[in-house]
């Protein structure tokens, strides 16, 4: 599990090239950016740096299947599936503490 600092380090390495999208099952099925790895990375970056995003946006993050297909396509070597898994845990932990 990555810490918040490690999640931020990973997402800041994203070049937003989109190489990850064509292999993502949820992006292929929906063709909606927030249901693909690039969109999820952007949502996570916004959530951690701008104080949050709406519940609708978080639905995109929540629908990740963690298949890791995106990890193998990322030229920056970002551990996308692990970033998303760790962010979900961080987010739900914070919600539970409220």
The model's confidence at residue 78, banded by pLDDT at 50, 70 and 90, is: very high
The model's confidence at residue 92, banded by pLDDT at 50, 70 and 90, is: confident
Mean pLDDT of the chain: 93
| Integer Cα distance of 37 and 74 in angstroms | 10
* Residues whose CB falls within 8 Å of the CB of residue 93, separated by 6 or more in sequence, listed in order: none
The model's confidence at residue 94, banded by pLDDT at 50, 70 and 90, is: confident
- Annotated domain spans of the chain: 4-97
Tokens 């970033």 locate to 83
| Integer Cα distance of 23 and 44 in angstroms | 20
Buried b (16+ CB within 10 A) or exposed e, 4-13: eeebbebbee
Residues 34-46: pLDDT tens digits? 999 999 999 999 9
Which superfamily is assigned to 4-97 in CATH? Alpha-helical ferredoxin (1.10.1060.10)
| Integer Cα distance of 46 and 57 in angstroms | 10
pTM for this predicted structure: 0.91
């Amino acid at each position: 599990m990555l810490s918040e600092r490690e999640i931020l380090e990973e997402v800041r390495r994203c070049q937003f090239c989109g190489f990850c999208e064509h292999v993502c099952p949820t992006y292929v099925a929906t063709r909606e950016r927030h249901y693909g790895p690039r969109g999820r990375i952007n949502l996570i970056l916004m959530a951690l740096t701008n104080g949050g995003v709406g519940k609708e946006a978080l639905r995109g993050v929540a629908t990740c299947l963690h298949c890791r297909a995106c990890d193998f396509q990322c030229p920056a070597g970002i551990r996308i599936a692990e970033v998303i898994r760790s962010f979900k845990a961080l987010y739900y932990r914070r919600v539970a503490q409220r």
